[in-house]
Amino acid sequence: MKAHIAIFRALVLCWLFSATVASPIDALRFDLGLTVPSFLNFLLPDPLDVPIPNHRVSAASSATPDESAGEMVGWFDPRANGGRLLDYTTKKYGEPLNVIISGSSDPYVLTDEGFHDYAKSLGYSEECLGMHSGHLHDANLGDGNGRTTELFLARQYYFPIWGTCWESLAGGQHFRAWKQNGTMANSGAWFIGASKEHDSSRNHAIVPDGYNLGRDWFVDRAIEGRRWKSMWWKADLAWRNDLLEEGRKGVNHGIAQDGRVAILTVHRL
Ligand SMILES: *[C@@H]1O[C@H](CO)[C@@H](O)[C@H](O)[C@H]1NC(C)=O
């Protein structure tokens, strides 16, 4: 029992110390489904998520959808079949689906399990201990499935303790994801609404400019190239300005966004 308390104290001290230096949170990694041994793992030095130095950069244009018919390759415009690039947060308002992971990506990343690993490589953890705070959003990806509920909610770096989750000081990055796989547009692409929130004491409200910030945080890490366990990924990026209307109209919390959607094609290295 004493040993447990000592270990717990060490963990808390370690976390507090890390949280007080400049950009410390990258040093901490939490996996979901914690068991005591895996939890203790994080005391050991862990080189996860180091950006790849001088790694292969693939041609940016190769696998990205082209403006015309090439779009069929990796994803379909949801608007072509009654969908939209805002989710349904409430009856009237939605949050922008501002990142698309193209169906031309690494097939593993397109699976549920692989996508979770990929999200962890970027620095998100699955929502703490499976608890879902806040309500679920729907989206219509124009694939014939109509409105469906988000499949996946990821948040950045929680510190799990006593069955609750404390968001890190750097915290607040999160995203929701849906899969475009209905029979009318079966691309297998992930459509993602990324945003930056205040910490949980502010009830997960989005920060000013939080949609653009949340998207850019995701994208910056994706194109940098990162890893989870022994799997490395790096994404090609293309921007689309014509899928979402710029501004705050219909946008949840009345927070304006710039209307840009990042199309990522994720390659396994
Ligand atoms: C679409 O993908 C999700 C997530 O992998 C899965 O749960 C669902 O059954 C799939 N739907 C279809 C129509 O294949």
Transcribe 7-31 into DSSP letters. HHHHHHHHHHHHHHSSS-GGG----
Strand order in the sheet with 124-126: 124-126, 152-156, 173-180, 189-196, 99-101, 261-268, 231-240, 226-228
Nearest Cα to Cα of residue 39 among 3, 6, 8: 8
The pair of structure tokens assigned to 265 is: 């094609």
So where are the chain's domains?
2-49, 78-268
Nearest Cα residue to atom 10 of ligand 1: 181
Q: What is the whole-number distance in angstroms between the Cα of residue 235 and the centre of ligand 1?
A: 23
Banded pLDDT at 4 (limits 50, 70, 90): low
* 159-215 confidence digits (pLDDT tens): 555 444 555 444 578 899 999 999 999 999 999 999 998 765 556 678 889 999 999
Pairing of β 124-126 and β 226-228: unpaired
Report the predicted TM-score, pTM, of the whole model to 2 decimal places: 0.73
Say what the pLDDT of residue 132 is. 57
Which parts of 95-148 fold into alpha helices (H)? 112-122
Q: Specify the ligand 1 atom closest to the Cα of 151.
A: 4
pLDDT in tens, 92-127: 999 999 999 999 999 999 999 999 999 999 988 776
- Which pLDDT does position 63 carry in this prediction? 36
Q: Give mean pLDDT, residues 39-53.
A: 39
CA 67-68-74 angle, to 5 degrees, is 75
- In this predicted model, which residue has the larger pLDDT, 257 or 58? 257
More confident residue, 43 or 219: 219
Q: Which atom of ligand 1 is nearest to the CA of 145?
A: 13
**Ligand 1 atom 5 nearest Cα:** 112
Which H or E element spans position 224?
helix 210-224
131 lines ligand 1 (CB under 6 A): no
Q: What is the pLDDT of residue 158?
A: 54
Q: Residue 225 burial by CB count (10 A; 0-12/13-18/19+): exposed, middle or buried? A: buried
Alpha carbons 24 and 197: distance in angstroms, whole number = 19
With bands split at pLDDT 50, 70 and 90, how would you rate the model's confidence at 8?
low
Protein residue closest via CA to atom 11 of ligand 1:
181
